[in-house]
């Protein structure tokens, strides 16, 4: 390593007045990687990949990952991690679905109960927020490492989803509930719309509010942030409640999409979410990360999944290829920081 290091990305240098093509390419390298991947897959699939319907499929299939990744950016910026999001998805899915079953379902969780769909939605979000609060509470009040606290929630949460649903999918849901995952508004599928709204809100939170500035400050140097009077515990608690709520939303979207609250939903999802976040340039060293980066990361993962299906790559090779592309994308992206 050389002794000269690059200036912090957020501090504009005095010579930045004229447009610097090199710096621009560096900053948006991950976007170029995505574009390259799209071109490659389009050629390999004889144009099937680039069709509008297929692109809509790609984005819809990563909506849940993208929604949660927007929260994971905050978490990882503050040197945290949340392994429990997949299990929170399952809890929210079974609770949301149980409150949205129609009267003619074969197995009914709450017989005779008929509440508006909005209640089911709020319950799913509340489950997510509650689980996130527990994570945040353990991390800030008991000083448990985020890795451990959320690992506990990941295990217990999955178990809770199984207990609640007796290990069986909760099916035959109201049309209004299924609309969250299957419907569209003004021609845009609802999951994609929710993904976009979450990205917008998270971007504003991170870039335009005190909460966002504190998030970066804690990640940059927690000690300095503490000395400067930031209530670190409160910010961190807020971050884990935020990502928990987003995971709850993702659980609603996924269960509505398959028309069933399944306790196995979201198994392994945390890894895709973390991969999307990290591919998007959020650094495990803390203090660095963007929401738009995580969106690009999610789209890269979705494009790989979709493209390999179109090309009928064998399931074993799919995992190898996916892993390689993720690592290569990060290596290329990391080089810009040297």
Partner 1 sequence: MIKRRGFKALAAFAAAAFLLVGCSSTDGGGSDTSSSDSTGGSGGGDVTIGATFPILDQFLQTVADAMQSKADELGVTLNVVAADEQTDTQLGQVENFIAQGVDAILVIPVDTDAAGPMTQAAQDAGVPLVYVNRKPSDLPAGVPYVGSDSLYAGTVEMQALAEMAGGEGNVVILIGDPANEAAVQRTQGCKDVVDENPGMTVTKEQAGNWYREEGQNIMENWIQSGDDIKVVCANNDEMALGAINAIKAAGISLGADGILVGGVDATSDALASMEAGELSVTVFQDAAGQGAGGVDAAMTLIGGGIVDDYVDIPYQLVTPDNMADFQ
Contacts with partner 1 by CB under 8 A lie at 1, 5, 45, 48, 51, 53-54, 57, 61, 79, 81, 83, 86-87, 106-107, 147, 151, 154-156, 158-159, 162, 166-169, 171-172, 182, 254, 257-260, 262, 264-265, 267-268, 270-271, 274, 278, 283-286, 305-306, 309-310, 312, 315-316, 318
Minimum distance, C-beta of residue 5 to partner 1, in the bound complex (Å): 6
**Alpha carbon distance 36, 131 (integer Å):** 39
Residue 277 Cβ, how far from partner 1 at the closest point, in Å?
11
Q: Which is nearer to partner 1, 236 or 257 (CB)?
A: 257
* Shortest CB 230 distance to partner 1, Å: 19
User: Which helix H or strand E contains 74, and what residues bound it?
Assistant: helix 63-77
Closer to partner 1 by CB, 161 or 237: give it.
Answer: 161
CA 124 and chain centroid, separation? 17
Q: Which is closer to partner 1, CB of 20 or CB of 166?
A: 166
Closest to partner 1 by CB, 245 vs 262, is: 262
Residue with Cβ nearer partner 1 (15 or 52): 52
State which residue, 99 or 304, has the beta carbon closest to partner 1: 304
Tokens of 6: 């690059």
Based on CB atoms, which residue is closest to partner 1, 122 or 152?
A: 152
What one-character-per-residue DSSP string does 172-198 give?
-B-HHHHHHHH-EETTEEHHHHHHHHH
SS3 content of the chain, % helix, strand, coil (to 5): 70, 5, 30
Residue 33: CB minimum distance to partner 1, A: 20
Q: Work out how close the CB of 201 gets to partner 1 at its nearest, in angstroms, rounded to a whole number.
A: 25
Structure tokens belonging to residue 147: 């890795």
Among 280, 327, 324, 320, smallest CA distance to 299 is for: 280
Min CB(49)–partner 1 separation in Å: 8
Q: Are 277 and 294 in contact (CB under 8 A)?
A: yes
Cα–Cα distance for residue pair 115/117, rounded to 1 Å: 6
**Whole-number minimum distance, CB 218 to partner 1, in Å?**
14
For residue 218, give both structure tokens: 């804690």
The DSSP annotation for 92-110 comes to HHHHHHHTSB-TT-SS-SS
Distance of CA 300 to the CA centre of its chain: 13
């Amino acid at each position: 390593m050389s002794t000269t290091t690059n200036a912090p990305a957020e501090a504009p240098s005095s010579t930045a007045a004229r447009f610097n093509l090199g710096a621009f390419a560096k900053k948006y390298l991950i976007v170029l990687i995505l574009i390259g991947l799209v071109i490659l897959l389009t050629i390999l699939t004889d144009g099937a990949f680039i069709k509008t319907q297929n692109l809509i499929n790609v984005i819809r299939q990563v909506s849940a990952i993208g929604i949660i990744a927007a929260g994971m950016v905050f978490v990882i910026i503050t040197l945290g991690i949340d392994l429990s999001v997949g299990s929170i998805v399952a809890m929210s899915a079974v609770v949301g679905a149980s409150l949205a079953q129609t009267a003619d379902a074969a197995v009914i969780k709450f017989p005779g109960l008929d509440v508006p769909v909005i209640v089911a939605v709020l319950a799913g979000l509340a489950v997510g927020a509650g689980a996130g609060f527990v994570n945040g509470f353990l991390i800030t009040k008991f000083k448990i490492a985020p890795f451990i606290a959320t690992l506990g929630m990941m295990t217990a949460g999955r178990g809770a989803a199984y207990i609640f649903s007796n290990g069986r999918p909760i099916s035959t849901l109201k049309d209004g509930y299924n609309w969250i995952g299957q419907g569209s508004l003004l021609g845009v599928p609802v999951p994609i719309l929710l993904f976009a709204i979450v990205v917008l809100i998270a971007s504003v939170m991170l870039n335009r509010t005190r909460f966002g500035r504190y998030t970066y400050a804690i990640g940059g140097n927690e000690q300095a942030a503490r000395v400067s009077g930031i209530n670190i515990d409160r910010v961190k608690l807020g971050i884990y409640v935020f990502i928990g709520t987003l995971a709850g939303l993702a659980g609603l979207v996924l269960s509505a999409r398959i028309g069933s609250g399944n306790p196995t939903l979201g198994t392994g999802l945390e890894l895709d979410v973390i991969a999307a976040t990290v591919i998007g340039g959020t650094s495990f060293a803390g203090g660095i990360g963007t929401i738009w980066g995580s969106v690009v990361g999610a789209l890269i993962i979705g494009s790989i999944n979709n493209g390999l299906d179109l090309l009928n790559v064998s399931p074993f090779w799919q995992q190898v290829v996916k892993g390689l592309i993720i690592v290569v994308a990060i290596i290329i992206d990391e080089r810009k920081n040297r």
